[in-house]
Chains A and B, each alone.
Chain A
Amino acid sequence: MSPPAPVLLALLAALAAAPAGAATLELQVRPTVAGEALQPASLRYQTTAGETFAITRVSWLACDFALQRADGTWLELGDTAAWFDAERGRDCVRLPVATTGEFRSLRFLAGLTPAVNHAGPDKFPAGHPLNPNLNGLHWSWQGGYIFLALEGLWRNAAGQLDGWAYHLARDTNAASVTLALPLVLTNETQVALDFDLGVVLRAPRPLSFAKDGSSTHSRDGDSVAAALVRNLAGAFSVRRVTPLTEGEIAAARPAPLYLPAKFTPYEFQIAANVPIPELPRDNPLTQERVALGRELFFDRAVSINDSQSCASCHAPEKAFSDSRQRSWGAEGGSGSRHSMRLLNLAWKREFFWDGRAPSLRAQVVQPIQNPIEMHQSLPALVEKLAGDPAYAPRFTAAFGSPEITAEKVALALENYLLTLTSFDSKFDRAMRGEGVLSAEEQRGFELFSTEYDPRRGQFGADCFHCHGGALFQSQGFANNGLDAESMDTGRADTTGRAADRGKFAVPSLRNVAVCGPYMHDGRLPTLEAVVEHYVSGVKRSETLDPNLAKHPDGGVPLSAADQRALVAFLRALTDPKVEQAGVK
C-alpha cells in the first residue's frame, strides 16, 4: 500500500531538506614544532633543559568532537573517532555536522572515553581508526589503547644517542582540548590545526629526558604522564579555516577479479581479541581459490628445475620458515636473509624483511623469479602449469575460466597465504581459562609485557612495544641493535630514507620456538641467544629503536632466571597445530 500523496510529498520535502542543513567539518592536524612542520627523525630540537632530540613517532587518537554554538551550547558531533599518525600520513578526520550555523569553539578529547577505550580490540571493522591492526595503538593484554605515542631519540649527557618513548594511556589521561574557532559553517569546511609537539614537551610543564625519565607508560602517579596531559591542552592551535567546494570523492571499491558465478566462500576464522584484518576486496577468499593456492604452494613445478616448491624453504612445521640460516635456492644458491615465517600475514601490509612488496600477490612472484631462489620466469611457469591437465579445472573453479596467467597464480597463492593463521597456544588457552601457565611462564609474560623503567620501579623487558597485541607483532620496521653499522641496509632499500637504515620487519612471536634461527639474517641460533642479544648485545646507532635505545648500554638487564622465564614464555606461544605440521 502506498502512502497518501500529501504524506509522500512531505517525506520527499524532508529528504530534500536534510542535506541542506548538514555540513562536513574536515579537521586536518599537522604535527609541528615551534610553528614549523615537524621534521621527523631529525636531531634538531631542544628541550628546555637543553637536550637535543628527534621525534620519530607521533601517533594519537581523538574522539568526542563537539562545536560550541554562538549561544554557548555544545553540538556533539557523534561518535566519530580519529587516528592521526605522522609516519603513515594520517592527518585528517571528516566530521559530519548535523546543522549548519555559527560556532565559536571546537572541543575534542585527545584520547578515548572509557567506553570506547574498553570496547574491545576486535569490535572495529578493518579500516576503522580504532582497529588495532591499523593504528597499532592497542595494548591487547593490558586492555585499552595508547592515546598518544610519542617517541624519538636524544643525546644524553655522555653524548650518546638514547631513546625516549612517551606512551600516554589509561582513561584518566585523556586530555580535553578546547580551541576558539569562529566559524560560519555552511557546507564543507576544512579546519587546519597545528599540533605543536614542542609545547607537549615544554609548556607549561617542561620535561627533561634526563631529569624526568625517557619513558612513560602512564602508570598511577606518573609525573611525566601528568605533565603530558597538562601540556596537551595548550598544544593545539587553529592555523587556517578553508571552505571546501567539492565533497570527498568516495574511494572506488575495487571489484573482485575473475570471480566465478559459482563459488564457495571461505570462512576466515579469527580468534577473539584479534583485530579484524583488511582482506583484499579484489581477491575474495573462496575455498576453490585457497585450494588452488595450496596446490601451487606445494608444487615443485614452480621452480626452474622442478626441485623446489615454496614449502621447501617455508616448511609448515617450522611456522613456514626454514631451519637453515640461509635457504638454498633451486640451483644451490643462497641469499643473505633468513626465510620468513608465513603465519598471520592477513594482518601485514608490507612483505619481505624490508617491506618491498606492498601485497602478497606482488610478493609471491618475486621468489619464483629470483635467480638465487626458484629462478623461473613467469611465462615459463604459466606454460609448465598449462601442460599439467590437473590445473585447468582448478583454475576454472577458482577463476571461472581454465586460462592460466601469472596474475591468477599470484592471486591464488595470495588467497592461500592469507588463510595461514595461528591463534592457539598454551598461552591462549591460559588466557581463555582452559589451562594454566607455569610460574616460570607467568614470570616470562610479566617481563614481556612490562616496561623497563627503574625510575618508576618497573623492571620488565619492554618486549610488548614491538611484539604486542594478540598477534605478538606490529606492522612496523625496527632496528633492534644487531649492528652498529648494518651491512644490510634493510628497510632503507625500499624507502630510500636514511632514517630506515638497518630496520627490518618486526616478526610475530607466535610459534617463535619452532622457526629459528632468528633475526633477518638468521644469525642467532636459539631463543636463549635472542634474549641474550636484548640483554647484552644491543648496539647503538642513529636508527636504533627508541624503546631499546632507552636501555642501559648493551640492553635491558635481566637475571639468568628471568632470561629463562622469557624463553619459557616464548615457548608457550607455540601452536600445537603448527608444531604437528597440521597446517597444510
Chain B
Amino acid sequence: MNWMQHRAGSVGLALALTLIVSAAARGADDPRITSWYTLDSSRLARLYRTPAKQAANQPETTWSNGRNTQAFPVRCGVQQISSSSNWVYVSSTGLPGQIMGPWEGGRFPNLPVDQHFIFAIPLHPVKQSGDAWNRLFEIGMFVDGVRMFDACDAFSYSHARGQDANPRAGIGQGDGIWRRDALVNEGQTFDAALAHQQNWGTYHYHVQPIALRYRLGDHVDFDPATQTYHESAGQPRHHSPILGWLQDGYPIYGPYGYANPTNPASGLRRMDSGFVPRDGRRVPDNLAATGRRQLPAWEAREEHRSAVLTDAETGPEVSDAYPVGHYLEDYAYLGDFGKTQGRDFDLDELNGRWCVTPEFPAGTYAYFTAIDARGNPVYPYNMGRRYYGKPVGCLMRGIFEPVTTNFVAAAEADTAATPKDAPRGSKLIWRDGGYQTR
C-alpha cells in the first residue's frame, strides 16, 4: 500500500501534535506513539543547494542534480502514525523540518530525496539474550522521521592496498576490521544539522541530531547569522527529550540525564560515554606506541574473536593521515580498564543504561547521544556496536495488519510557511522609452 494514497483517502484535519486517539488502541499513550515530532509534518521540505542560496535565504522545494531528483515538493518527516497491539508504524518522507544543506560548499554529489518509508518499531521491546552479533548500518529513526545511521561510513582499511577504501578509491569496501568513523572521515560533508545523504538520497545522521535537538528545545542555540547550531551555555534545566527510537524499540535521548539513574530528583548531567581514545591518556592502551595490532576488548567480544590480529589484519600506523580516532577500533571501553559504570562514567558499551526518565518513570533501557563538554559529538555517538533489545524493527513499504491511525499530517500544506520561499516572477514595465524588468 502506498502511504500517500492512504493519506489522501483519510478524512479530517489533524492538527500538529494532536493525536486522534482511538479508545480501542492499546498503549496509545506509549511514547513510541506520542513522542514523534509532527510540528513540521504539513510543511514542505526545503534545502539550500549552495552557500550562495543560503546567504540569499533562497531555499528550494524541488531540486535535481541529474542524479537525485525531487521533482515535486514533499512534506517534512512524519506523515502518519498507526499502531496495532504489537507494532507502531511511522510513515515518513525522511526529510527534516529544518532547511537542509548546503553540503560541502555545494560540491557534495548527493541530494536528499523523499524516501516515503514506513518505520515499524516494536511496541513491547524485549531485551536480547546472550551476546548476539547485530547487523548495524541503519539503526533507527529520529522523532522527526529522519534516519539514524551507525558510527561507520561503510568503508574500512584495506591492508593489501595499504590504504582506506573510500567512495573514490575504487577498491571496494575494505577489510571490515579497521572501520572508518563517519564523523571523522565524512564530517566535512555534513550540513549545519550534522546530516548528509547517501547516494540514493536518504538524509541521515551518524551523530547527534543537533538541529532536531534545537527544535525539541534540548539545550541547543541556533545562530541565524551563521546558520549554525551550538550547545547552549550554562547548565541544562531539563532532562533531554526522546530524540528517536532504535530498531530494538528502545529510546535514544539527548545528552542530559539524571545524575542518579533511578532518582529524578538527583539533578541533571551530561551522560559520559564509556569510550575513550586509545591514546595512552585515560587508558594505558596507546596505539601510537603499539601500532594498530590489537582490537579493543569490546570489539573482540562483539566479534567473538581474539583481540590479537594476524599480520594481514593490522591497521596503518598512527600518523597525520591515520590519527587515533580515525577508526572505531581506535576507542577503548573504560569498563575493560577497571573503571566502573555509574561512578567513573555513565553509559555502558551499547551507549545506554537502565534508568528512569520523564517518559518512563518506572524505568527503561535508554540510549543517550554522546557529546563532549564543548558540545561536539563523540564516539560512539548514538549507539555502540550492539542493540540492547532484539532489533526487530525495520523499514517497510506497507502495513499488513489492521491498525489504528494515531496521527495523520494535516491535509493541506501549510502555505503560510512557503510564500517567502516561492520564487517570485518579474514585471515588465514601459518606462523611459523601454521595457524595464522589475
Residues of A within 8 A of B (CB): 122, 125-126, 141-143, 170-171, 220, 253, 256, 265-274, 276-277, 279, 281, 284-286, 423, 430-439, 442, 445-446
B422 touches A272 (CB 8 A): yes
Q: Which residues does chain B contribute within 8 Å of A423, judged by CB atoms?
A: 425
**Which residues of chain B are near A435, meaning CB under 8 Å?**
413, 415
A431 CB contact (under 8 Å) in B4, B62, B413: B62
Q: How far is the CA of A154 from the CA of B424 in the complex (A)?
A: 44
A436–B116 CA distance with the chains assembled, in angstroms: 15
Cβ of B195 within 8 Å of any chain A Cβ, yes or no, is no
Residues A267 and B429 in contact, CB atoms below 8 Å apart: yes
Closest Cβ–Cβ distance, residue A222 to chain B (whole Å): 12
Which of A272, A281, A436 is close to B73, meaning CB atoms less than 8 Å apart?
A: A436
Q: A432 contacts which of B46, B61, B75, B426 (Cβ < 8 Å)?
A: B61
Which residues of the other chain, A, contact B227 by a CB distance below 8 angstroms?
none
User: Shortest Cβ distance from A583 into chain B, in angstroms?
Assistant: 17
- Out of B8, B64, B418, B429, which one reaches A142, CB within 8 Å? B64
Cα–Cα, bound, A253→B66 (Å): 41
Among B19-27, B164-172, B254-262, B430-438, the stretch that binds chain A is: B430-438
Q: Chain B 1-12 against A: per-residue CB contact (8 Å), 1 yes, 0 no?
A: 010110010000
Q: Is A433 within 8 A of B425, CB to CB?
A: no
Cβ contact within 8 Å between A256 and B433: yes
Q: List 19 A-B contacts (CB under 8 A).
A: A141-B71, A220-B66, A265-B430, A266-B430, A267-B429, A268-B427, A268-B428, A268-B429, A269-B425, A270-B426, A270-B428, A273-B423, A273-B425, A276-B437, A279-B435, A433-B421, A434-B413, A438-B8, A439-B2
Contact call B427/A430, Cβ cutoff below 8 A: no
Complex Cα distance, B425 from A267, in Å, reads: 12
Task: Specify the chain B residue showing the minimal Cβ separation from A277.
Answer: B428
Interfacial chain B residues near A281, Cβ < 8 Å: 434-435
A265-B430, A270-B428 known; 17 new pairs, CB 8 Å cut-off, are A122-B425, A170-B66, A256-B430, A266-B429, A268-B435, A272-B424, A276-B426, A277-B428, A432-B61, A432-B423, A433-B413, A433-B418, A433-B421, A434-B413, A436-B72, A437-B72, A439-B2
Task: Check if A430 sits within 8 Å of B72, measured CB to CB.
Answer: yes
Residue of A nearest to B426 (CB): A270
Contacts of A276 in B (CB 8 A): 426, 428, 437
Chain A residues within 8 Å of B8, by CB = 438-439
Which of B's residues lie within 8 Å of A, judged by CB?
A: 2, 4-5, 8, 44, 46, 61-62, 64, 66-67, 71-73, 75, 413, 415, 418-419, 421-431, 433-435, 437
**Which of B72, B75, B418, B423 contacts A272 (CB under 8 A)?**
B423
Contact of A434 among B422, B423, B433, B437 (CB under 8 A): B422
Q: Which of B62, B73, B413, B427 contacts A267 (CB 8 A)?
A: B427
Q: Give bound CA distance, A430 to B74, whole Å.
A: 9
- The answer for the CA separation of A143 and B426 in the assembled complex, in Å, is 19
Assembled-state Cα–Cα distance A170/B69 (Å): 14
Determine how close the nearest CB of chain B comes to the CB of A344; give it in whole angstroms. Answer: 13
With A220-B66, A436-B413 already in contact, the answer to whether A271 and B425 are too (CB < 8 A) is: yes
Taking the nearest CB of chain A, how far is it from the CB of B259, in angstroms? Answer: 46
In-complex Cβ contact of B428 among A273, A279, A442 (8 A): A279
Q: B5 to A431, Cβ gap below 8 A?
A: no
A286 x B422 contact (CB < 8 A): no
**A439, B2: Cα distance in complex, Å:** 10
Chain B residues lying within 8 Å of A268, measured Cβ to Cβ, are 427-429, 435
Interchain CA distance A325-B427 in the complex, whole Å: 36
List the B side residues contacting A272 at CB < 8 Å. 422-426
A271 to B424, CA, bound (A): 7
Task: Verify B64–A274 contact, CB threshold 8 A.
Answer: no
Closest to A218 in B: B66
Check if A270 sits within 8 Å of B5, measured CB to CB: no
- CA distance in complex: A272, B60 (Å): 13
The 7 A-B pairs at the shortest CB distance, nearest first, are namely A272-B423, A433-B61, A284-B430, A433-B73, A271-B425, A268-B428, A433-B44
Chain B residues whose C-beta falls within 8 Å of the C-beta of A122 in the assembled complex? 425-426
Please name all residues of chain B whose beta carbon is closer than 8 Å to the beta carbon of A269 when the two chains form the complex. Answer: 425, 427
Contacts of A220 in B (CB 8 A): 66-67
- What is the CB-to-nearest-CB distance from B418 to chain A, in angstroms, rounded to a whole number? 5
Residues in B whose Cβ lies below 8 Å from that of A285:
428, 430
Query: How distant is the Cα of A431 from the Cα of B72 in the complex, in angstroms?
Result: 6
Contacts of A274 in B (CB 8 A): 425
Minimum C-beta distance from B194 to chain A (A): 25
CB distance from B6 to the nearest CB of A (A): 11
Interchain CA distance A125-B426 in the complex, whole Å: 11
Q: Which of A253, A273, A286 contacts B430 (CB 8 A)?
A: A286
Which residues on B sit within 8 Å (CB–CB) of A270? 425-428
With a cutoff of 8 Å between Cβ atoms, the chain A residues found around residue B46 in the complex are: 433
Cβ–Cβ contact B415 & A434, under 8 A: yes
Assembled-state Cα–Cα distance A126/B422 (Å): 23
In the bound assembly, the distance between CA atoms of A170 and B424 in angstroms comes to 26
Nearest-neighbour CB distance to chain B for A482, whole angstroms, equals 31
From A266, A271, A432, residue with most partner B Cβ within 10 Å: A432
B397 to chain A: closest CB distance in Å?
15
* CB-based nearest A residue for B428: A268
Assuming the contacts A141-B71, A265-B431, A273-B423, asked whether A432 and B418 have C-beta atoms less than 8 A apart, the reply is yes
Minimal Cβ-Cβ distance residue in A for B63: A143
Across-interface contacts of B62 in A (CB, < 8 A) = 431, 433
Closest residue of B by beta carbon distance from A431: B62
CB distance from A524 to the nearest CB of B (A): 29
